[in-house]
Amino acid sequence: MKRKVGFLLALPPNDPSAATVQGLAQAALQAGHEVYLYLIDEGVKNMPEAGYLALAREGAKVFVCAYGCQQHHVPTDSVDPAVSLCGLVVLSGLIDACDPFLSFT
């Protein structure tokens, strides 16, 4: 059964949870599920990482908090077209639409 699987990541690339989320999201994609990922707080620093860009290019819907980018000095002038900058209202919708929704904070 195809599911909508959501992830929230609020931790930087050097945190072990960043690799965990990437691996779980990749496994969910390979299993045929729809994958939604929201990067917030220090998690926005994962946006330019190759693994996260690959997820977006492979079909995961990757959303990045625009305010978080501003607060953590993550440039947004050359964001990959596969990634969407957005606000918290998108996160609210993802939490509501995804089952399961996993948070790594």
pLDDT in tens, 18-40: 999 999 999 999 999 999 999 99
Pick from 87, 48, 50: nearest CA to 67:
87
Per-residue model confidence (pLDDT) at position 32: 97
Distance CA 82, CA 52 (A): 10
Tell the burial category of 86 from Cβ atoms under 10 Å away from its Cβ (0-12, 13-18, 19+).
Answer: middle
d(CA 83, CA 63): 6
Is residue 1 predicted with pLDDT exceeding 90?
no
Q: Which amino acid is at 75?
A: P
The total number of structural domains in the chain stands at 1
The reported pLDDT for the residue numbered 69 is: 97
Model pTM score:
0.95
Range of the domain at 78: 4-104
Which CATH number covers residue 37?
A: 3.40.1260.10
What was the pLDDT predicted at 17? 97
pLDDT digits over 50-100, tens only? 999 999 999 999 999 999 999 999 999 989 999 999 999 999 999 999 999
